[in-house]
């Protein structure tokens, strides 16, 4: 679930430059936005947030999929480790969707919109052991965090409030990524997934 976002600056972003995958609701300028932003800045911030909303909606579903499909000796620890993160990410999706609405745009939260707009594939592992799923989640979180950091950078000059929201999310998401990676690290501090950038490649490397 590798994710990518635009790195356009405040000056470069206009509503006409938004990705062709952006929903219709973002193709036009909203009729209002928060005080202090231009309508174009409000629309550009909302477009960046829509990509984050897609990332979060995909992530919390993926984490539940792992919660249901992890098997083996470490089942219960991984099964139970994931649920608080699912709830956190669901809450983050709600934060982002409501910020989009606050900015005067329409958050797109349907499964169809997510599938149409995302530029990554479904999580690729089904029933499997704990280390395989954790290794795959390492790759997932690399994509998610890279995407969140790009969105945070995009909004840094556009909207301080949205930027602060995303930075706050990153604190927790990056800590959970460490929880995942701690299972894949040896006493020398080396990750078993080092050098891998796909879910299946990471899973193979961690179990070989
Ligand atoms: Fe459950």
Measured CA to CA, the distance from residue 106 to residue 25 in angstroms comes to 6
For the CA atoms of the chain, what is the radius of gyration? 18
Please give the model's pTM, rounded to 2 decimal places: 0.87
Within a domain: 14? no
Q: How many domains does the chain have?
A: 1
Q: Which residue segment(s) compose the domain that 149 sits in?
A: 37-207
Cα of 82 from ligand 1 centre, angstroms: 9
Cα of 65 from ligand 1 centre, angstroms: 10
State the CATH number of the domain containing residue 169: 1.20.1260.10
Cα of 79 from ligand 1 centre, angstroms: 7
Within a domain: 92? yes
Within a domain: 2? no
Within a domain: 7? no
Within a domain: 141? yes
Does residue 207 contact residue 129 with C-beta atoms inside 8 Å? yes
Within a domain: 103? yes
Cα of 15 from ligand 1 centre, angstroms: 41
Ramachandran sector of residue 109 (left: φ over 0; alpha: ψ -120 to 50; beta: rest)? alpha
Does residue 59 contact residue 92 with C-beta atoms inside 8 Å? no
The pLDDT tens digits for 153-179 are 999 999 999 999 999 999 999 999 999
Q: Any idea what DSSP says for residue 107?
A: -
The pLDDT tens digits for 98-128 are 999 999 999 999 999 999 999 999 999 999 9
Cα of 206 from ligand 1 centre, angstroms: 25
Within a domain: 12? no
Measured N-to-C along each axis, helices 130-156 and 39-69 cross at an angle, to the nearest 10 degrees, of: 170
User: Which residue, among 67, 181, 52, has the nearest Cα to 125 in the 3D structure?
Assistant: 67
Cα of 68 from ligand 1 centre, angstroms: 7
User: Which residue, among 17, 10, 60, 62, has the nearest Cα to 38 in the 3D structure?
Assistant: 10
Percentage of the residues of the chain whose pLDDT score is greater than 70:
87
Within a domain: 24? no
The pLDDT tens digits for 4-30 are 433 333 333 333 344 444 444 455 689
């Amino acid at each position: 679930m590798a994710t990518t976002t635009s790195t356009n600056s405040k000056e470069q972003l206009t509503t006409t430059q938004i990705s062709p995958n952006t929903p219709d609701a973002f193709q036009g300028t909203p009729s209002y936005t928060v005080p202090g932003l231009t309508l174009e800045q409000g629309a550009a911030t909302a477009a960046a947030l829509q990509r984050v909303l897609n990332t979060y909606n995909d992530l919390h579903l993926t984490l539940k999929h792992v919660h249901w499909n992890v098997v083996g000796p470490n089942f219960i620890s991984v099964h139970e480790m994931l649920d608080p993160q699912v709830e956190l990410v669901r809450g983050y999706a709600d934060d982002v969707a409501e910020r989009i609405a606050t900015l005067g745009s329409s958050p797109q939260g349907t499964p169809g919109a997510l599938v149409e707009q995302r530029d990554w594939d479904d999580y690729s592992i089904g029933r499997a052991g704990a280390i395989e799923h954790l290794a795959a989640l390492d790759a997932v979180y690399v994509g998610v965090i890279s995407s969140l950091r790009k969105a945070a950078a995009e909004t840094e000059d556009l909207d301080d409030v949205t930027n602060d929201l995303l930075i706050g999310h990153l604190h927790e998401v990056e800590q959970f990524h460490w929880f995942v990676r701690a299972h894949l690290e040896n006493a020398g501090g080396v990750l078993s997934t080092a050098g891998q950038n796909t879910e299946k490649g990471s899973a193979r490397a961690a179990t070989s």
